């Protein structure tokens, strides 16, 4: 018996536990202070009424002999796959139902997709990064190289022909930097991947936040992407499904390597290791894509967008540089007067009672940066912006 000792190579993830420890210690020592948490990556607004009604109806069906359902198709019910297909079609992207796989969220599939790739592949990951891309590859023992996302490239690294990568992770709009690629920039990545036979793993978990013209919401807006990319998407941030769990992954039929269809491999993987998302949740997800559901979901997204704008305006008025906030719920700011993200964290916590996320927790290039999120309440966001303005204008 041998263990997978690659697990011992994982860095302990101290980021959110250290934040919680520091915040709890401060709160205990200062029970009279109102702490504003602007670091959360979870949504706070409830599910859309159309989603709740659809799930209640579906739960009712499950309690009646005639409409009860047992195991569903592993890759999702056709009613939901068709709704996703229509969602893409409205943006001019034509997909086949068989290219869409319903998932229990983007995190699972971003990790699980690695089952269909050899462990000898070299993986290119941006730095700073959503830690799941790194850790899932360390678990499999793959070689990881980094694409530097810095202020100089607007936190949008572009391909370097000298870099030899087989799997390429792109997250746009990005967590943590909030930066979003244009269709034109993604076309450069698609060209690079196609030239070397690499596969792009495109995380579009925040696509619903894109509002500016010319920025991509899907990699399939780029011609030729179906021959080199897999897209992961989620209803977590789009529709408040973080606790409900539903997403979808697109593996195009045109994506082949060495004459083997990746869609076929993924279908085989899913039918072997996954038994599908619950019927009730899939009915709730279907409701997101109805006219009524979309309008309700957009209302919530508008609140988060306004919050992001409040924070962005505050930083503008202070002359602090940042990315994100316009097409993303994340704002990635420079730590003014601080080169150490954690020192800035302590300063904000102690002097303004505002909590964010130190950029260094997302990778080497995150040092000196700080992530704020738009997911807190409108009141808390307004108050946090005022406190930041007061404190940082003195600095
Ligand atoms: N991808 C990115 C970039 C994320 O930031 C997150 C969650 O924060 C996820 C995926 C996970 O999404 P899900 O809730 O669908 O698993």
Give the closest residue (by CA) to ligand 1 atom 3: 175
- Sequence-distant (6+) residues with CB within 8 A of 121 are 142, 143, 166, 167
Which pLDDT belongs to residue 236? 98
Our mutation pick for probing the ligand 1 site, out of 16, 41, 107, counting the most ligand atoms within 8 A of Cβ, is: 107
Q: Describe the strand order of the beta sheet including 122-127 as a list of residue ranges.
A: 100-103, 247-250, 229-234, 199-203, 167-171, 122-127, 143-148
Which pLDDT belongs to residue 258? 96
Q: Which residues pair with 200 in a beta bridge?
A: 168, 229
For the purposes of burial, counting CB atoms within 10 Å of the CB of 88, is it exposed (0-12), middle (13-18) or buried (19 or more)?
buried
| Separation of alpha carbons 15 and 358, rounded Å | 8
- Region of 142 (left: φ > 0; alpha: ψ -120 to 50; beta: rest) is beta
Our mutation pick for probing the ligand 1 site, out of 205, 324, 375, counting the most ligand atoms within 8 A of Cβ, is: 205
CA dihedral 37, 38, 40, 43 (to 10 degrees): 100
Give the closest residue (by CA) to ligand 1 atom 11: 107
- Region of 362 (left: φ > 0; alpha: ψ -120 to 50; beta: rest) is alpha
Mean pLDDT, the chain, as a whole number? 97
Which pLDDT belongs to residue 395? 64
Q: Which atom of ligand 1 is nearest to the CA of 171?
A: 3
Which pLDDT belongs to residue 121? 98
What's the gap in Å between 194 CA and the centre of ligand 1? 26
What's the gap in Å between 301 CA and the centre of ligand 1? 16
Q: Each residue's pLDDT tens digit in the chain (395 positions)?
A: 999 999 999 988 778 899 999 999 999 999 999 999 999 889 999 999 999 999 999 999 999 999 999 999 999 999 999 999 999 999 999 999 999 999 999 999 999 999 999 999 999 999 999 999 999 999 999 999 999 999 999 999 999 999 999 999 999 999 999 999 999 999 999 999 999 999 999 999 999 999 999 999 999 999 999 999 999 999 999 999 999 999 999 999 999 999 999 999 999 999 999 999 999 999 999 999 999 999 999 999 999 999 999 999 999 999 999 999 999 999 999 999 999 999 999 999 999 999 999 999 999 999 999 999 999 999 999 999 999 999 999 76
Q: Which atom of ligand 1 is nearest to the CA of 42?
A: 8
What's the gap in Å between 2 CA and the centre of ligand 1? 32
Which pLDDT belongs to residue 84? 98
Which pLDDT belongs to residue 12? 82
| Separation of alpha carbons 320 and 312, rounded Å | 9
Which pLDDT belongs to residue 13? 79
Name the nearest CA neighbour of 352 among 308, 318, 389: 389
Cβ 140 vs Cβ 119: under 8 Å: yes
Pocket of ligand 1 (CB under 6 A): 41, 105-107, 130, 171, 175, 203, 205, 234, 236, 242, 247
Q: Which atom of ligand 1 is nearest to the CA of 106?
A: 15
What's the gap in Å between 165 CA and the centre of ligand 1? 23
What's the gap in Å between 47 CA and the centre of ligand 1? 17
Cβ 323 vs Cβ 317: under 8 Å: no
Our mutation pick for probing the ligand 1 site, out of 16, 42, 130, 288, counting the most ligand atoms within 8 A of Cβ, is: 130
| Separation of alpha carbons 315 and 290, rounded Å | 37
């Amino acid at each position: 018996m041998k263990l997978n000792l690659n697990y011992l190579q994982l860095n302990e993830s101290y980021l959110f536990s250290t934040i919680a420890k520091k915040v709890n210690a401060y709160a205990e020592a200062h029970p009279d202070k109102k702490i504003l948490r602007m670091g959360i990556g979870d949504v706070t607004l409830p599910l859309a009424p159309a989603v709740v009604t659809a799930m209640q109806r579906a739960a009712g069906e499950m309690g009646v002999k005639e409409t009860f359902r047992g195991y569903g198709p592993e890759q999702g019910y056709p009613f939901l796959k068709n709704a996703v297909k229509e969602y893409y079609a409205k943006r001019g992207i034509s997909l086949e139902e068989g290219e869409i796989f319903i998932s229990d969220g983007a995190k699972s599939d971003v990790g699980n997709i690695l089952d269909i790739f050899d462990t000898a592949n070299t993986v290119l990951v941006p730095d700073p990064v959503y830690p799941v891309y790194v850790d899932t590859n360390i678990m499999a023992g793959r070689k990881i190289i980094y694409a530097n996302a810095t202020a100089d490239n607007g936190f949008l690294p572009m391909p370097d022909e000298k870099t030899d990568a087989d799997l390429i992770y792109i997250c746009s709009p990005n967590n943590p930097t909030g930066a979003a690629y244009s269709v034109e920039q993604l076309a450069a990545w698609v060209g690079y991947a196609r030239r070397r036979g690499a596969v792009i793993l495109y995380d579009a978990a925040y696509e619903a936040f894109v509002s500016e013209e010319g920025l991509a919401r899907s990699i399939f807006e780029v011609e030729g992407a179906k021959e080199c990319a897999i897209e992961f998407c989620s209803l977590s941030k789009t529709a408040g499904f973080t606790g409900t769990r539903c997403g979808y992954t697109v593996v195009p039929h045109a994506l082949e390597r060495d004459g083997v269809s990746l869609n076929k491999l993924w279908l085989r993987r899913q039918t072997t290791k996954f038994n599908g998302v619950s019927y009730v949740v899939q009915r709730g997800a279907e409701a997101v894509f109805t006219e009524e559901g979309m309008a309700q979901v957009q209302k919530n997204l508008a609140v988060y967008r306004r919050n992001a704008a409040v924070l962005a305006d505050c930083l503008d008025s202070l002359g602090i540089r940042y990315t994100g906030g316009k097409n993303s719920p994340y704002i990635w700011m420079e730590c003014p007067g601080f080169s150490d993200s954690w020192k800035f964290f302590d300063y904000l916590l102690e002097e303004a009672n505002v909590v964010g996320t130190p950029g260094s927790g997302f990778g080497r290039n995150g040092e000196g940066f700080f992530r704020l999120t738009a997911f807190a309440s409108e009141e808390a966001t307004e108050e946090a912006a005022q406190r930041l303005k007061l404190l940082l204008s003195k600095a």
